[in-house]
Amino acid sequence: MEKGPIEKNAKDPSKTKARINLERASVLLIDNAWGVELLARIFLGFGSKHLYRCCSVAEATEIIDQHAIDLIVSDAMLDDTEAYPFIRSLRLRAEKDPNRFVPVILLSAHTASRKVTEARDCGANFFVAKPISPKVIMERIRWVAAAKRKYLETDSYAGPDRRFRDDGPPEGMVGRRRGDAKNDQASDGAAA
Amino acid sequence: MSHAVFYEPENRLAKAINTPGGKHVETAIFDAEELVVQAADECVEQIDLALTQVYRLAEHAQSQLDALYKAVREVAGLAGTCGLGDLGAAALSLCNLLDQAHQSGRLNAERLQVHLGVMRLLRRPDRFSETERSEILKNLQAVIDKGQAELA
């Protein structure tokens, strides 16, 4: 069969002189056989040296039980099941477990409407739409590494705080968060 | 009152990637793209395998909805990586159609056939101009919008 044309991203997408060192980071890649091969190529290009690759939740759990992982990149739909329960179980591990707070980037070509809530609530740090590109994966890695998001555990959710912005309490309302009083004081001080 | 506990764990990833050494981000992306491009032939082979499965499962689509969805999703996820972006867009549209079928409990066979036909056409994108491909995808979207309106 005829093959389609390959378009390579010729331009520098990052426009940055920043460096990234993935040599020491342990990265777990989870996807079907071909997907994990593609991800591995991307991470090898990035300079990764500690890659764990697997195609199922069962294998991923085994790896997580034995190694401290610094980043997980997983497809949302795996060979044996979906990744959402696996990510949720990760966030509910013991507080001292080195992998409880590991950043997770979930990949998905399409999310069925009945799965949107589950996807939102599973505790992943970011979703990336497939098809993937090295540029987008790199952006997300740097974003996850730079993020100062806290992890939150409530009765119904465990994972990174989904509130990206803290604009303080609504106008005219008294803040209820621990940090709100400080914000009020700061803005009062600025006004004075 | 609901229970909420905040944690501020050490960001091991940040610590690891900021150690001296490594690559310039620009170089890292370039090197990764090189490795992806080298795998383009294999990528197209995988797409063709997935497409074969899609066409086979589509013969019994109503009873194979989940398996069909999974196979189409595979095409949608891979096609753009090896220069078959329009095929990927058509596959994504078919994902939406199958999602609608899951919601309504009924798959519209004609709309399915339209999608399969378009996917066959867009597997050979060089046969059409960019404008023609764009028009094909626009019409496919209209098919999906019609189905969505029926669901609402």
Q: Which of 132-151 (A) contact B at CB < 8 A?
A: 132-135, 137-138, 141-142, 144-147, 150-151
The whole-number pLDDT of residue A31 equals 95
What are the pLDDT digits (tens) for B114-140? 999 999 999 999 899 999 999 999 999
Identify which of B23, B35, B48 has the shortest CB distance to residue A20.
B23
Smallest CA–CA separation between B38 and chain A, in Å?
10
Task: Fill in the DSSP letter of residue A174.
Answer: -
Give B109 or A12, the one with higher predicted confidence: B109
Residue A162: pLDDT band (50, 70, 90) is: confident
A85-142 pLDDT tens trace: 999 999 999 988 999 999 999 999 999 988 999 998 999 999 999 999 999 999 999 9
Mutate to test the interface with B, among A7, A15, A17, A20 (most CBs of B within 10 A): A20
Residues of chain A found within 8 Å of residue B38, distances taken between Cβ atoms: 41
Give me the interface pTM, i.e. the ipTM: 0.90
Helices (H), chain A: 33-46, 57-66, 84-91, 116-121, 134-146, 178-191
Query: pLDDT category, A11, cuts 50, 70, 90?
Result: very low
Is A4's pLDDT higher than 80? no
Task: Give counts: helices (H), strands (E), chain A.
Answer: 6, 8
Phi, psi angles (nearest 5°) of residue A70? -100, -20
Between strands A151-154 and A158-160, the pairing is: antiparallel
Of B34, B46, B125, the CB nearest to A45: B34
Q: Residue A3: its pLDDT value, please?
A: 42
Count chain A–chain B contacts defined by CB atoms under 8 A. Answer: 218
Range with the poorest average pLDDT among A105-109, B94-98, B147-151:
B147-151
What mean pLDDT is predicted for residues A39-45? 97
Q: Do B12 and A70 touch (CB under 8 A)?
A: yes
Average pLDDT of chain A? Answer: 85
Q: Tokens 């071909």 label which residue?
A: A34
Q: pLDDT category, A163, cuts 50, 70, 90?
A: confident
Question: Checking phi first, is residue B31 left (phi over 0); if not, alpha (psi -120 to 50) or beta?
Answer: alpha
CA A55 distance to own-chain centroid: 18
Rounded to whole angstroms, the maximal C-alpha distance in chain B is 63
> In the structure encoding, which two tokens stand for residue A93, read together?
């591990």
Residue A39: pLDDT band with limits 50, 70, 90? very high
Number of Cβ within 10 Å of residue B45's Cβ equals 15
**Is omega for the bond preceding A131 within 30 degrees of 0, making it cis?**
yes
- Check residue B83 and give left, alpha or beta (phi > 0: left; psi -120 to 50: alpha): left
Judged against a pLDDT cut of 80, whether residue A177 lies above it is answered with no
Instruction: Please tell me which residue, A15 or B76, carries the higher pLDDT value.
Output: B76
Q: Which of B3, B13, B51 to mutate to test the interface with A (most CBs of A within 10 A)?
A: B13
Cβ neighbours of A105 in B, within 8 Å = none
More confident residue, A24 or A3: A24
What are B25-74's pLDDT values in tens digits?
999 999 999 999 999 999 999 999 999 999 999 999 989 999 999 999 99
Query: What helix, strand, coil percent values describe chain A, rounded to 5?
Result: 35, 20, 45
Nearest to B25 among A18, A25, A132 (CB): A18
Alpha-carbon distance A192 to nearest alpha carbon in chain B (angstroms) = 32
pLDDT exceeds 80 at position A14: no
Look at A142 and A80; give whichever has higher pLDDT.
A142
Q: Residue B44 and residue A3: Cβ atoms within 8 Å?
A: yes
> Nearest-CA neighbor of A50 among A69, A26, A70, A77?
A26
Q: A interface mutation test: which of B8, B25, B43 has the most A CBs within 10 A?
A: B25
What is the model's pTM? Answer: 0.86
Residue B22 Cα, gap to closest chain A Cα (Å): 4
Residue A183: pLDDT band with limits 50, 70, 90:
very low
